[in-house]
Structure 1
Amino acid sequence: MIAKRAEHPYRSGRDKSWLKIKCGHEQEFIIVGWSPSTRSRPFSSLLLAVRDKKGLRYAGRVGTGFSNDELDRLSAMFKKLGRKTAPVKGEIPASIARKAHWLRPELVVQIGFAGFTKDGLVRHARYLGLREDKEAAAVTREKATPVEEIENMPVDKQNSPVVAGVPISHPDRVLFPEQGITKIELARYLEKAAEMMMPEIEDRLVSLVRCPEGRQKKCFFQRHAGAGLGDGFQEFEVQGSKEREKYLYITDVKGLVSAAQMGVLEFHIWGSRVDDIERPDRLVFDLDPDPSVSFDEVKKAAGETRDVLDALGLQSFPMLTGGKGIHVIAPLVRRHEWPTVKAFAAAVASRMAEQEPERYVAKMSKAARKGRIFIDYLRNDRTSTAIAPYSPRARAGAPIAWPLSWAELAKAKAANEMTVKTAFSRRRASPWKGYGKLRQSLKISALRALDVER
C-alpha cells in the first residue's frame, strides 16, 4: 500500500512524504525440521508445517529473524527432538528433503510472512518467536476474514455498556463457555483488577492472546500493532535482529479494558520497561511440572527455589500461573542487561537440576521432563515473556495468574484455583508486601559463585 501526506504535492523521487507500507500476515507454525547452514550458523532455516484434515502438511521454511542467542537456543532444543523420517504428509521439494534434519513436531513458532503461494508455502517468511504457550496439536492454517465482512459487523456503540470509558460491543458474548463468563464480565474484572495489575504491567511490552469469539474458538497471538487495537494501547519501537519493529504496551486501566473489548484473554509481559528496555527489573523462574507431578511437589520446588535465591541475596515472591505451575519472581534494580540476567537464571536452574536430577530438569524437551519439574529460566531472555500477574488464562474454568504470599502458597490446592469469578470477591491487600520497594540486584559474589561473566 502506498500512502502520501495529503498536503504535499506529487513529485518524482524519494522523500518522507510518501510511504510504502507492506501488508503482511502472522500465524503459528510447527517446526518439523531444519536445514544445515553452509556458514557458521547452527542451522540455515526452519522447516514449517500446519495441520489439516489429513495431518501435518509441509508449509515452507524460514531463515531470517533469528538473533545469535535464539539460534543457539533453538539448536539446543533440536538435539532432543531428532527423528529419521519426515513427520509431514504431502510433497516436499527434493532439494530440501535431501538435506533436511527432521524433528518431532512439538515446537510452535510465530512467523510473519507476505502470504501463501498457490502450493500453500509461506512467502518471505521471518521468524518472530517461539510460542511456548501453544500446543502443536492446536496449530492449523488460519484464514483471513474479508475486510468487507468486518466492516459490516453490527456494532451499536450508542447502546453499548461503558467500562472505564471504553464502549463494550457484544457485551453478552460468552468468552468462557464452561462458566458462562461474558465479555462485559471480563471487562469489569479487568477494571477491578487494575489497581493491583497496573503496577506489574504498566510500561512493559506486552503480547496478547486474543480470542474474539471465546476461548473455545480460534485464538491468536499478537505483539505488534494491527487491526482492531483500542485507544488504550501505545507503541514502542525495538531493534530486532534485522529491522526495527513496533511492539505494544499499556499505560492505564483504559488499555486493560480496551483489551477485553478486543477479546484478549491473556497478557504476557516483558521483564523490562520501555524507559530502559535492555535492563530487566524482574527475574522469573517458571516451575512447569510434568502431568504426573503433584501440586504439592511443585509447591515444595517453589520453596526450594526461594531458598536458593535467598542464599544468593535475592528475596522472591510466588505466583500461581493459572495453569499447572508456579512462578517464583524476584524484583531487580535495573543494573544488568539481558545476557547477564539470563545467564544467572540458567546457572541457577542448571545447579538445581544437577543437584536433584530425579526431580528437576533445566532442558525444554518434553521427553526429559517425564516425572520431573522443568525449571524454565528462558523467560529471562530479551524478547521472551511471562504471564502477567492477575491476567486471565484462555483455559477451561477461566483461571487467573494469582500472586500469593509464601504463607498463602502453603495453603493453595492448585495452580488454577483462582478464577475470574472468584478473584476479588473481597477486598485484597497486595500479597507481595515490600515488592516494589526492594532494592536488590545480582551481586558480584553471586555471579562469581555461579561462574557467570558480567
Structure 2
Amino acid sequence: MASKRAPRRKASGTSGKRDRPPARVVSVAGVRLTHPDRVYWKDAGITKRMLAEFYAEVWDWIRPHVTGRVLALVRCPAGASSECFFQKHASAGVDTEHLHLVPERGSKASISIDRLSGLIALAQGGSLEIHRRGSTAERLEDAERLVFDLDPGPGVEWKDVVAAAREVRKRLAKHKLTSFPMSTGGNGLHVVVPIRPAPWDTAKEFCRAIAQEMAAADPGRITATVKKSARRGRIFVDYLRNSREATAIVPYSTRARPGATVAVPLAWDELSGRKADNTFDMDGVRRRLSRLRHDPWQDFARSRRTLPKSKP
C-alpha cells in the first residue's frame, strides 16, 4: 500500500501526550490553532494541538472516508469532560476557507471537506468526534454504504459481539455483498458495507430485514428493538443508521470518551484476538499503522455491489 504512510510515533506511553513548550498560537496544515494547549481530554492529557497533529499523521488513512461526504460533529469546545453537543448543520460563522457548505432542504446547509486543512479546522473548532452520512455530498438521496451497529447490552460478552458481526457478514455474503468490521472506540462493532448507490428506502428496508431475521433466529442473544429494556443480555443490531440524515462514526475519528479512544478499521481475522474492551487510543493507532503491511479496508471502494431488489 505505497500510497499510505504509517504515522511516525512521536512519544511513548498510551495517551498520545508529548512534551511541548507552551504556545499561544500554532499552525497545523496551514490552519491557525488558537489556544493550542487547551486540554481536550484531561484524563489522557491530550490537547487541541495533539489532536490536530494526530489527524495530520493519519490523513492518508482517514481521507477516503471523509472527503466529499456530509459530516456531523460532536463538539466539545472546552474538552470531553465539559459540555458537548451534536452538530448536523453548519452554524453561523463557519470557516468557509477550509470547510465546504452543502445545500440542504430549506435554508440549512451541512459541512463537507476535501483536504487535510478542513479536518484540522474541525479540530480547531472543538470537534472531538466526526460522523458521516452514508451518502456522498453530491448525491444525498442515495446510500453508498450501509452500517450495522452492533451495540451490546449489559452482560454481553465480547465473543458474542464477534459472533454477531460474523453472522451479519455471513448473511450479507449470501447477497454477494462484502463487509468490513470496525472497532467503534466503544464497546461495540460496526459492520460496514460498500454498495452501489441505492435509494435510502431500499437501503434501510434491506438492513431492517437482516436485523429482524437475526433477531428471529436467535432471540436470546439478538434484538432489533430500539427499547433499552429489550437489550439486557442481548446485542442490538442497529439498522437505523441507514437513512438519509443518519450518521455513523468515521474510521480513525477520535471519540469524546475517556482515554481519547479512536474508531479503527479491522480485518475479519483480527476480531478473535481483540480484547474485550475493543479500544485503541492515539498511540495505539500509531503503533498499529506502523506495523500494518496493508490497509485492512484497501478493497473497500472496489467492493461495491448492487443491493438486491427484494427483501433478503
The TM-score normalised by the length of structure 1 is 0.61
Amino acid at match of 2:225: K
Q: 2:89, 2:121 → 1: CA distance?
A: 16
Aligned to 1:424: 286
Aligned to 2:89: 224
- Equivalent residues in 2 for 1:203-214 (5 A)? 203-214=68-79
Amino acid at match of 1:382: R
SS, match of residue 254 in structure 2: coil
Amino acid at match of 2:109: K
Displacement of 1:319:
0.1
2:224 maps to 1:358 = no
Amino acid at match of 1:175: Y
2:96 maps to 1:234 = no
Amino acid at match of 1:206: L
Displacement of 1:436:
1.3
1:433–1:410: structure 2 CA closer, same or farther, 3 Å change rule? Answer: farther
Displacement of 1:244:
4.2
2:151 maps to 1:288 = yes
In the alignment, is the contact (CA less than 8 A) between 1:160 and 1:168 conserved in 2? Answer: yes
Displacement of 1:222:
1.3
Aligned to 1:248: 111
Q: 2:46 aligns with which of 166, 181, 191?
A: 181
Q: 2:200 aligns with which of 314, 338, 342?
A: 338
1:345–1:238: structure 2 CA closer, same or farther, 3 Å change rule? Answer: same
SS, match of residue 63 in structure 2: helix
Gaps of 5+ in 1: 1-157
Q: 2:46, 2:128 → 1: CA distance?
A: 12
2:123 maps to 1:260 = yes
Q: Looking at both structures, which has the greater relative contact order when contacts are Cα pairs under 8 Å and sequence separation is at least 6? A: 2
Displacement of 1:439:
3.4
The TM-score normalised by the length of structure 2 is 0.88
Displacement of 1:276:
1.2
Gaps of 5+ in 2: 1-22
2:179 maps to 1:316 = yes
Displacement of 1:433:
3.0
Q: 1:200 aligns with which of 61, 65, 84?
A: 65
Which structure is larger by alpha-carbon Rg, 1 or 2?
Answer: 1
Displacement of 1:415:
5.1
Q: 2:142 aligns with which of 255, 276, 279?
A: 279
SS, match of residue 378 in structure 1: coil
Q: 1:227, 1:185 → 2: CA distance?
A: 26
Cα RMSD for the two superposed structures: 1.5
Q: 1:416, 1:388 → 2: CA distance?
A: 16
Amino acid at match of 1:237: P
Displacement of 1:416:
4.3
Deviation digits for residues 242-290 of structure 1 (CA, Å, limit 9, x no counterpart): x342111111111111111111100110000012111111011000000
